[in-house]
Structure 1
Amino acid sequence: MAKVLLPLHEIIGIPIADLVRAEMQAAQASMEFIENVGFQRDPKADRDDLGELRFVTFRYQYPDQSGKPVSHEVKVPLLSLMPLPLVQIARGEIELVARIEDVKKLALDSVVVARPPGKSETLVAERHEFIASVDGLTAMDDPKTKSAPRIRIKIEVKQSDLPAGFDSLLRKLDQNVVDKPK
């Protein structure tokens, strides 16, 4: 494979963007599961209308105060009985070595700069970026190439919190459990 030279921010950003895309696919699969298992959709309904909540019903006998068996019927939202596949990346670690191949001076018109109030000059006189290639992780320790400038980059990504909407949905599902004498 030919060596590809990229700005360092792209070398760092590409694997992070791939993690985000993976999360997006996982979220889509979770939503499809919730729609298909938890709801009965009317084929004529609007695309955003999930339809009616799907329930499971079961019956059992339970003795009343006198000991006589009484039939009970329980109606439970199916989603409340299923483990929701809310999969997220709990911890992602990306480690790479970037070999600095060049330093590129950026034109000021391509850089967002701050100007102090009432001043004509910018706070940034000029800006540079590294142009780099990805090296093997052992390249930092290789005595043959030790003099080449390299940067070891280690990025840790942590899991986000459960969306508030899911917590609210689970509480609503719990409130819809019905247990009544039949």
Structure 2
Amino acid sequence: MALGDELSSIDFKSMIGGPLDAVVRAQAQSAQTSVDFIKAVGFEQDSNEPTMITFSYMKALESTDDDGNTTVTPTKYDLTVPILTMLPIPFIRVEETTIDFNAKINSVQESTTSSSHDLNTKLSAKGGWGPISAKLSASYSYKKSTSASSKIERTYSMAVHVRAVQDELPAGTERLLGILENSIQEVPSNSQ
């Protein structure tokens, strides 16, 4: 098999397409994870309303009477905030994918042919009282020996480097967070 045939037999479509397909699927899974996080953490399961958290704190209120005297009164306030505005939303995107593929093919072919020819003849003559007799003996031999050996060594290696980063929030998610931020309320607490 020629070296070009070896390289053409490699399934580059799968070797390069497989990791790229995995990256695309990972990106889709990351997006679904972001959606699941927003639904699970940011909204009540039964009512689909934003999950709110309330903080209580003391705030000093100043008041001035008609005589110009200032009075400071500690007042308890409640701050209600959508929890989704307080947490980082996981939104990961693949920024770069590098596929390194190395193929090392060593091909050694050996072929040895040897042949030999051999002709043996023998002539003998015999004299005597009667007719002359002669004897001829001949032999021919042919020997051919062929040996061939082939050794192909293949070494393949592939490395996939994926670089993921925290991406900017999509415009719709930013808008959602803006609407939720507008629902933050600071009111005097009823229990003072």
Pairs aligned (count): 125
Question: How far does the alpha carbon of each residue in 1:111-161 deviate from its partner, in whole angstroms, 9 at most, with x for none?
Answer: xxxxxxxxxxxxxxxxxxxxxx99326xxxxxxxxxxxxxxx999877665
Matched, 1:168 2:165: no
TM-score by structure 1 length? 0.56
TM-score by structure 2 length? 0.53
Moved more, 75-84 or 89-98: 89-98
Who is 1:32 aligned against?
A: 36
Of 9, 15, 19, 1:11 maps to 15
SS at match of 1:51: coil
Q: Where does 1:1-182 land on structure 2 (aligned, <5 Å)?
A: 5-6=10-11, 8-42=12-46, 51-65=48-62, 66-97=71-102, 135-136=156-157, 162-182=169-189
Gaps of 5+ in 2: 1-8, 63-70, 106-153
- Per-residue deviation, 1:34: 1.3
- Per-residue deviation, 1:181: 2.2
Quote the Cα distance in structure 1 between the aligned partners of 2:13 and 2:88: 39
Gaps of 5+ in 1: 43-49, 101-132, 138-152
Quote the Cα distance in structure 2 between the aligned partners of 1:68 and 1:51: 39
1:13–1:52 Cα change, 3 Å: same
Quote the Cα distance in structure 2 between the aligned partners of 1:52 and 1:85: 21
1:158–1:63 Cα change, 3 Å: closer
Who is 1:144 aligned against?
A: none
SS at match of 1:57: strand
- Per-residue deviation, 1:97: 3.1
1:99–1:161 Cα change, 3 Å: farther
- The alignment-based identity, stated in percent, is 30
